[in-house]
Amino acid sequence: MTRMDIGKLLDLTGKVAILTGAASGMGRETARYFGAAGAAVIVADRDEAPAEAVAAELRDAGGKALAVRVDIADEASVIALMERTVADFGGLDILVNNAAIQDRAMLEDTTVEFWDRILAVNLRGPFLCLREAARIMRAQGRGGAIVNVASTSAVHPVMLGLTSYASAKAGVTALTRNAALEFAAAGIRVNAVLPGGVMTEGGMKSVGTTPSGRAIQLPPIGRIGQPQDIAGLILFLVGPAAGYITGQLFISDGGFMLG
C-alpha cells in the first residue's frame, strides 16, 4: 500500500485567508493554525494593536500575515478589507466570520439601540463579509471556503441575558445554509461552527446562569472549551479534508446540550 500523506488533508499552502475578530480568543488561535498550515493570513479586527501583534507572531514564524483594521458592521470598511486583501495577496480563498460582541441584557431591558448594535455586528457583519468574499471567489473561478462562527445559543437557550446575541447567531445559521445553496455551483463551501462555552476573553464575560436559574456547569466531557478546540474544527472545514461538506452546522460544546 502506498503511504498516504495525511498532512495534505489540512494543508493550506498557497491559500489566502481572512479571519475577522482574529486579534484574540478563537480568532487568534485559528490564525495561528492557518499560518502553521501554510496560508497567508489577514488578521482583521477593530483593535489594531493586538491584531498587529498576532500578524507579527505569524510573520516571525515564517508565514505571511497582514493586520487590517475593520468594522464589520460598516459596508465601506468591509469592502476596503476585501480590496486590501486582493491588492496585497492577489486573491482570496478562505473567510472565517468570527468577530462578534457578546453584551448581555435581559429582554425587558433591551433597548432598540442595544438590539440594533448586537445585530449590526453579529449578523450584518457576517453577511457583508460573506457577500463580498463570495463575489471575489466567484470571479476567481477556483471556489473557496467560508466558515461562520455562530453559537450553541442559536439553537438552544444557554443562559439568561443573551436573547439579542442568540437571535443574531440564529440568523448566522440561516445565512450559512442559504449561502451554501446559492454558492455551491461556484465551488464555494459555506459551513458554520457553533461553539459552546469557550475560555476566551469574550466568553468569560458572558458567564452567568441558565434560563432555569442554575449556574452554568461543566459539560459532560468534563472541562471548559479552549480556543484550540474551535480552531482545529475550523481548520478542518476550510481544508481539503472537508471538500464535500457544505451547508452544515457543527456543534462543539463538549456535550453540553446532551444534558
* Residues known to be catalytic: 165
In angstroms, the Cα distances linking 129 to 6, 8, 60, 114, 210 are: 31, 28, 28, 22, 32
Classify 231 as helix, strand or coil: helix
Residue pointed to by grid coordinates 482545529 = 232
- Say which DSSP state 126 is in: H
- The CB density around residue 226, as the number of other CB atoms within 10 Å, is 14
Cβ pair 89, 42 in contact under 8 A: yes
Segments in the chain forming alpha helices (H): 25-36, 48-60, 75-89, 112-119, 125-140, 163-183, 201-205, 227-238
Strand 40-45 vs strand 16-20: parallel, antiparallel, or unpaired? parallel
Question: Cell numbers at residue 68, please?
Answer: 487590517
CA geometry: angle at 249 spanning 186 and 69, to 5°? Answer: 70
The amino acid at 88? D
